[in-house]
């Protein structure tokens, strides 16, 4: 299989972004925080071969992974864990439980991501709870702060905030140039999470998919998800139909991004959430 191009960028002192073009299904980013040759690796991509690119990039800089953090349970962020079996791998406990269930059968993923079906590992390396390794007050290597959101893009997402460099390692809380996928979490909570991330005023955002982003990208996503939530409430209230809504909904800049078919999937999810509100 032809692997996507990986491009490593030093976004700030000791912070490395490893971006894979062009961020579509199964093609995700990774980041590393390097301190005295020791690296915290954030997300391991889909394939061990992709993860090999991460460790080669670190080796080239005289660094090695000492801790791996998975931002959420999606296989394109954890499939490369098997390549890091010699160092601790941590994730939010909710994500750990989902990954444990996924690890029994990865053929679901091969159907979702046919492009890499043959290479997707049959075995997943299940991370341990981040609370086993980090106490609430302890910062990550390099001075990073852990931000947890449960739910948001998925049932549980974590991001790393580097306050000194004002860099946000966002995982899939940020997509850039690729339509976000909002069917495994809760749109309203993702909107709230984005408000917290925007308030940090990051200078650089390393997204889960697509090229390096800024706070403006977070704002674009916020508008998209918030507008979708508003339209979905009107559908749930019976004021408009699903087909009306597609004409009314303005995706903003996201309308020009890859994977446009996800907007319909996201809207259906938003309507399900709005219907639950009506019932309760
Ligand atoms: Zn994801």
pLDDT at 138 over 70: no
Q: Which residue has the tokens 């199964």?
A: 26
Residue-level pLDDT at 93: 97
The stretch 104-117 carries a mean pLDDT of: 90
Neighbours of ion ligand 1 (CB under 5 A): 74, 172
Q: Ligand 1 centroid vs 153 CA: distance in angstroms?
A: 7
The stretch 254-261 carries a mean pLDDT of: 96
Residue-level pLDDT at 234: 95
Question: Could you tell me the pTM of the whole model?
Answer: 0.96
CB 127 within 8 A of CB 90: yes
The stretch 25-38 carries a mean pLDDT of: 96
Q: Ligand 1 centroid vs 172 CA: distance in angstroms?
A: 5
Identify each DSSP E strand in 80-229 by its residue range. Answer: 89-91, 128-129, 145-149, 157-162, 167-175, 204-209
**Average pLDDT score over the chain:** 95
pLDDT at 142 over 80: yes
Q: pLDDT tens for residues 229-254? A: 999 999 999 999 998 888 889 999 99
Residue-level pLDDT at 280: 58
For residues 93 and 97, give the distance between their C-alpha atoms in angstroms, rounded to a whole number.
6
Q: Ligand 1 centroid vs 65 CA: distance in angstroms?
A: 22
Residue-level pLDDT at 136: 63
Q: Ligand 1 centroid vs 217 CA: distance in angstroms?
A: 17
pLDDT at 279 over 70: no
Q: Ligand 1 centroid vs 212 CA: distance in angstroms?
A: 16
**Distant-in-sequence, close-in-space partners of 138: CB < 8 Å, separation ≥ 6:** none
Q: Ligand 1 centroid vs 175 CA: distance in angstroms?
A: 9
Q: Ligand 1 centroid vs 134 CA: distance in angstroms?
A: 23
For residues 155 and 95, give the distance between their C-alpha atoms in angstroms, rounded to a whole number.
7
CB 40 within 8 A of CB 144: yes
- In what side-by-side order are the strands of the sheet with 30-35? 6-12, 15-20, 30-35, 38-42, 64-69, 89-91, 128-129
Q: Ligand 1 centroid vs 183 CA: distance in angstroms?
A: 10
pLDDT at 140 over 90: no
DSSP state string for 21-41: SS--TT---EEEEEETTEEEE
Residue-level pLDDT at 135: 74
Q: pLDDT tens for residues 32-72? A: 999 999 999 999 999 999 999 999 999 999 999 999 999 99
Q: Which two tokens stand for residue 114?
A: 């046919």
For residues 11 and 185, give the distance between their C-alpha atoms in angstroms, rounded to a whole number.
29
C-alpha distance from residue 31 to each of 45, 201, 279 (Å) = 10, 19, 42
Residue-level pLDDT at 139: 72
């Amino acid at each position: 299989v032809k692997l996507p191009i990986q491009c490593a960028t030093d976004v700030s002192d000791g912070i490395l972004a490893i971006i894979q073009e062009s961020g579509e299904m199964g093609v995700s980013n990774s980041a590393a925080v390097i301190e005295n040759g020791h690296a915290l690796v954030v997300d391991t991509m889909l394939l061990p071969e992709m993860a090999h690119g991460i460790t080669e990039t670190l080796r080239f800089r005289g660094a090695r992974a000492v801790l791996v953090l998975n931002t959420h349970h999606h296989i394109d962020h954890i499939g490369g864990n098997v390549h890091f079996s010699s160092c601790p791998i941590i994730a939010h406990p909710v994500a750990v439980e989902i990954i444990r269930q996924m690890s029994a059968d990865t053929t679901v993923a091969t159907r979702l991501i046919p492009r890499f079906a043959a290479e997707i590992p049959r075995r997943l390396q299940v991370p341990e709870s981040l609370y086993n390794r980090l106490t609430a007050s302890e910062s990550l290597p390099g001075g990073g702060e852990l931000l947890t959101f449960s739910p948001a893009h998925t049932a549980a997402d974590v991001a790393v905030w580097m306050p000194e460099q004002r860099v946000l390692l966002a995982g899939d809380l940020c997509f850039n140039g690729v339509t976000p996928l909002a069917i495994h979490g809760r749109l309203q909570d993702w909107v709230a999470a984005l408000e917290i991330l925007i308030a940090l005023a990051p200078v650089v955002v390393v997204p889960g998919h697509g090229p390096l982003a800024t706070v403006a990208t977070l704002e674009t996503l916020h508008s998209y998800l918030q507008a979708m939530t508003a339209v979905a409430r009107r559908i749930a209230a019976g004021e408009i139909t699903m087909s009306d809504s597609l004409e009314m909904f303005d995706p903003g800049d996201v309308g020009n991004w890859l994977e446009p078919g996800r907007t319909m999937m996201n809207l259906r999810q938003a309507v399900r959430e709005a219907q639950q509100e009506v019932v309760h």
